[in-house]
Structure 1
Amino acid sequence: MPIVAHNDLPALQRLRAEGTTIVLPAERAAQQDIRELHIGLLNMMPDAALEATERQFFRLVGESNPIAQFYVHPFTLDAIPRGDKAAAHIARYYESFETIRADGLDALIITGANVTGEDLSRQPFWAPLGEVIEWAWENVTTTLLSCLATHAIMHFRYGQPRVLQPSKRWGVFSHRVLDKRHPLVADVNTRFDVPHSRWNDVSRAQFEAAGLRVLVDSEEVGVHLATSHDGLRMVFFQGHPEYDTISLLKEYKRDALLHAQGKLASEPPFPDHYLAKHEQAILLEWRDRLRQTAARGEAAPEFPEALVAPNIDNTWHDTAEAVIGNWMGCMYQVTHRERNKPFMDGVDPNDVLGIYSV
């Protein structure tokens, strides 16, 4: 599904520079007689991850289907505090929610976010996110919720608050498909890996108590993929299938540096099922030097990313592409040609894909 370069967003230029074929010039798109799809990206990530999150989701969607045209419409919430650089990026490249709402969308992706404290209802994004969700439910064919966005909507819409876990669910974990007939997991391996990075969890029992459909679960870390009762209008991820190969490595570096600076109480463990023993040894040596330099008040030693990253296996991206491709395909089959109408005539909003009434 080529992403149409209808603006000069740096994420599109970065993907093109990588040699990818998923970015289509706007002038070429105009010559193709293909129904374009308009996808919103509500990016709630903090400043440091704002552009990386754009690239991750653009790449995942763009690689999922080589035929249809995909127009991305990034936006954020004004209530989220921003630094000058991120604010300038948003002002130049992002659209307003008012514009998004007026023009309409075929689908919407809502990212995670960084929060302070456990009570999501006290976060600055709580009320405006609720407004977006209510609008999307009535006007958008399908909304995909990533990690913390899933937790927020489970609390906001379904009355199922997330639960703090004794330890962080962090690493790459094996999952199993529970409902093989659902089109979102069609032709997907019945077991596959997904990265997770979270302290909190919404359990399978909570999803089911809310009347939602759990499609993919893990014995170690719980639910990854679920949908609203109708099968498509809301799609929930608790994991991070969009993660790059080294995303968890960068998180490890961040937390190790925060600990060395006295801003994190304990040293981070290694992400589960992610690093081989040789790479762990390299990082342990770096961490020893980090302790020494911190004690002397010196600059941190260079992080050995170049030694570690080439040996990290990516065991999740292909399946993530397949699931996102299925999601886009399901949406394409039922969305209305008018972007402000969520469904074609005759589609049952309580069984969007027609798989539960059969």
Structure 2
Amino acid sequence: MTLLFDKHQLIVSPGPAPTQLGAAEKIGRRQDAQAALTIGLINNMPDSALQATERQFMRLLKAAGGNRRILLHCFSLPSVARSQPARSRIDGQYTDIADLGRLRIDGLIVTGAEPNAATLPEEPFWQDLIDVVDWAKANTRSTIWSCLAAHAAVLHLDGIERRRLDAKCSGVYDCIKVAGHWLTQDVP
């Protein structure tokens, strides 16, 4: 599988039209477009975890993608506070979040940021994050909300507030099927 860290593949405004493409070239381009999967990663993790988060998601996408070509666009919310070295990395290697709507994103992964405020709506990045939630709902096939981004999405979409526990709660949990649906038809 090919995983391309892609900052510059934007859909741009119309330019001069190329000369007629041959039939083989048209088919090749159509197959490339069908074979490639474009994933956006909005990486809002703290500076110390920025590169590790990129690597982890790249490894997961590569393992899951098989022979499929994946174009990965990394973004970061501008309202997440960054050190100068992290800001330089983001400016040099990430796609501007303003370009999110111009890209044809098939799937989106959104990570959380370090919480600082008492409630999520008080966070400096709250408005940017809920704008992403709304955009993803209307424009992607699938979105993975990770860490604090999951709490923000659940609060914004479902009105369910997060509550702090005495200890971190994570892991694999028992579950039961409560209704039949074609998506879960063969799931035990």
* TM-score bucket of the superposed structures, by smaller chain: 0.7 to 0.9
Please give the alpha-carbon distance, in whole angstroms, between the structure 1 residues aligned to 2:56 and 2:146. Answer: 12
* Offset of residue 124 of structure 1: 1.0
Residues 210-256 of structure 1: per-residue CA shift (max 9 Å, x gap): xxxxxxxxxxxxxxxxxxxxxxxxxxxxxxxxxxxxxxxxxxxxxxx
Residues 301-355 of structure 1: per-residue CA shift (max 9 Å, x gap): xxxxxxxxxxxxxxxxxxxxxxxxxxxxxxxxxxxxxxxxxxxxxxxxxxxxxxx
Q: How does 1:311-322 map to 2 (within 5 A)?
A: none
Question: Which residue in the other structure is 2:121 paired with?
Answer: 121
Q: Which one-letter code corresponds to 2:47 in the other structure?
A: D
- Higher radius of gyration, 1 or 2: 1
Question: Which residue in the other structure is 1:80 paired with?
Answer: 80
Structure 1 unpaired stretches of 5+: 8-29, 191-358
Q: Secondary structure at the match of 1:73?
A: strand
* Offset of residue 162 of structure 1: 0.7
Question: Which residue in the other structure is 1:178 paired with?
Answer: 176
Question: Which residue in the other structure is 1:64 paired with?
Answer: 64
**CA gap 1:5/1:54 in 2 versus in 1, 3 angstroms:** closer
The answer on whether the counterparts of 1:177 and 1:185 sit within 8 Å (CA) in structure 2 is: no
Please give the alpha-carbon distance, in whole angstroms, between the structure 1 residues aligned to 2:185 and 2:57. Answer: 19
Whether 2:148 is the aligned partner of 1:158: answer: no
Q: Which one-letter code corresponds to 1:115 in the other structure?
A: P
Please give the alpha-carbon distance, in whole angstroms, between the structure 1 residues aligned to 2:154 and 2:174. Answer: 22
Q: Which one-letter code corresponds to 1:43 in the other structure?
A: N
**CA gap 1:5/1:45 in 2 versus in 1, 3 angstroms:** closer
State the TM-score, normalizing by the size of structure 2: 0.77
Cα root mean square deviation, aligned: 2.6
Q: Which one-letter code corresponds to 2:84 in the other structure?
A: D
Question: Which residue in the other structure is 1:322 paired with?
Answer: none
The answer on whether the counterparts of 1:3 and 1:71 sit within 8 Å (CA) in structure 2 is: yes
The answer on whether the counterparts of 1:2 and 1:63 sit within 8 Å (CA) in structure 2 is: no
Identity across aligned pairs (percent)? 33
Q: Secondary structure at the match of 1:38?
A: strand
The answer on whether the counterparts of 2:107 and 2:141 sit within 8 Å (CA) in structure 1 is: yes
Please give the alpha-carbon distance, in whole angstroms, between the structure 1 residues aligned to 2:184 and 2:56. Answer: 20
Q: Which one-letter code corresponds to 1:150 in the other structure?
A: A
* Offset of residue 104 of structure 1: 2.8
**CA gap 1:113/1:93 in 2 versus in 1, 3 angstroms:** same
Please give the alpha-carbon distance, in whole angstroms, between the structure 2 residues aligned to 1:50 and 1:153. Answer: 21
Q: Secondary structure at the match of 2:56?
A: helix
**Runs of 4+ in structure 1 over 4 Å off:** 180-187
Q: How does 1:1-358 map to 2 (within 5 A)?
A: 1-6=1-6, 33=32, 35-169=35-169, 173-179=171-177, 183=183
* Offset of residue 183 of structure 1: 4.7
* Offset of residue 90 of structure 1: 0.2
Please give the alpha-carbon distance, in whole angstroms, between the structure 2 residues aligned to 1:86 and 1:182. Answer: 44
